[in-house]
Amino acid sequence: MLTIQSNVSLKSYNTFGIDVSTRYLVEVDNDQDIQTLFQLPDIQSLPKLILGGGSNLLLTQDFNGLVIKINIKGIETVKEDQNHVWLRVGAGENWHEFVMYCVERGLGGIENLSLIPGTVGAAPMQNIGAYGVEIKDTFDRLEAVDISTGIKRVFTNADCRFGYRDSVFKNEVKGQYIISNVQFRLDKNPVLHLSYGDIQKTLEQMSVKELTIKAISEAVIKIRRSKLPDPAEIGNAGSFFKNPEIPASQYEILKSEYPDIPGYVINEEIVKVPAGWLIEQCGWKGKRFGTIGVHTRQALVLVNYSGGKGLEIKQLSEKIQASVEERFGIYLHTEVNFV
């Protein structure tokens, strides 16, 4: 049964812990709920906000519309061959719990993505990634409901047009679909991804005897716990900005001025620079302004200590963008979505 609630606080629905309200809120448990919802009169005219774990979101004002919280659960084995298992997962499953499900069964491919907040359905939207792996590497397909017609559509890996923290769902079909489930192809004979510097170092510190996906997952969890704030304790949405990709020529000029500037060569023409480093250089790391601030251990993460307002966080992000642009000539694009 669908229950539409009125005037609900969204504080517990976003990992930043911003206390704004929505005019209406409904939680959907299955595909049928979505179809039923979109047959209700007056639904089409309401502004809608589709929510997974609310972990990549900054709410700057009350929402005068309908929030649709996706609670679709379930993990099902679709098929299996000698080397792979295909799992179909409800969009409302918690991402980290799904990673643990795979790690415990020896199914490789997403262990480097341990402890990322959010839900399975939200993961493809921005092609979540960490420690040298992105979800596009194991993603097979997803099913989504078109919110204007109620018709279900399958998106293959190619259809999603995955890029760095990017997909078709942030661009061409933004706001048009509700993702109801996602299918992954996991490896029975996992290929271990250890190239990201911190992973090797952490595994050595942990004196790991056997390199397994479980060991990698544990190393990732250790690194994340040491650098990133736990949203259950301090409100945040992970990286607030994307790491900028700049022309190699600009990188060379910056390198002559700042010999320590880190950079990852993407191709002959493009270098990716860590936004956290740029922000730290501008003196923002660990700065606190009343109830909000810049995380003490990772300058890429903005935090809400308690009771902070979304607009204040937005203003702080704009000041950071301005100072990085002035000093380095680089514009930082935000990774979080503003509502």
Half-sphere exposure of 175 (CA within 13 A, CB side): 9
Answer yes or no: 141 catalytic: no
CB of 276 to ligand EPU, least distance (A): 3
Span of 59-67, 166-174, 182-190, 236-244 interacting with ligand EPU by CB under 6 A: 236-244
Q: How many chain residues touch ligand EPU (CB under 6 A)?
A: 20
- How far apart CA 144 and CA 121 sit, in angstroms, is 10
CB of 46 to ligand EPU, least distance (A): 30
Answer yes or no: 239 catalytic: yes
Helix (H, G, I), strand (E, B) or coil at 27: strand
Identify the residue whose tokens are 């639904």: 43
With binding defined as CB under 6 A, does residue 119 bind ligand EPU? no
With binding defined as CB under 6 A, does residue 243 bind ligand EPU? yes
Which of 55, 88, 114, 165 is an active site residue? 165
Beta bridge partners of 186: 85
Cβ closest to ligand EPU, residue 133 vs residue 182: 133
Answer yes or no: 172 catalytic: no
Q: Which residues contact 308 (CB under 8 A, 6 or more apart)?
A: 16, 17, 18, 235, 290, 291, 292
CB of 74 to ligand EPU, least distance (A): 26
Cβ closest to ligand EPU, residue 177 vs residue 284: 284
Span of 8-16, 237-245, 249-257, 324-332 interacting with ligand EPU by CB under 6 A: 237-245
For residue 217, the tally of other CB atoms under 10 A from its CB is: 23
CB of 211 to ligand EPU, least distance (A): 19
Task: Candidates 14, 22, 202, 239: give the one binding ligand EPU (CB under 6 A).
Answer: 239
Query: Which residues 284-313 are close enough to bind ligand EPU by CB under 6 A?
Result: 285, 298-300
Q: Which of 4, 8, 19 is nearest to 235 (CA)?
A: 19
With binding defined as CB under 6 A, does residue 227 bind ligand EPU? yes
Q: Which of 175, 152, 151, 171 is nearest to 161 (CA)?
A: 171
Q: Is 118 left (phi over 0), alpha (psi -120 to 50) or beta?
A: left
If 0-12 CB within 10 Å is exposed, 13-18 middle and 19+ buried, where does residue 197 land?
A: exposed
With binding defined as CB under 6 A, does residue 123 bind ligand EPU? no
Q: Which residues contact 120 (CB under 8 A, 6 or more apart)?
A: 52, 89, 90, 91, 92, 93, 94, 95, 98, 181, 182
Task: Candidates 274, 293, 308, 310: give the one binding ligand EPU (CB under 6 A).
Answer: 274
Query: Which residues 166-205 are close enough to bind ligand EPU by CB under 6 A?
Result: 196, 198
Catalytic residues: 165, 239, 335
Residues lying near ligand EPU in the complex (CB under 6 A) are found at: 130-131, 196, 198, 227-228, 238-239, 242-243, 262, 274, 276-277, 280, 285, 298-300, 335
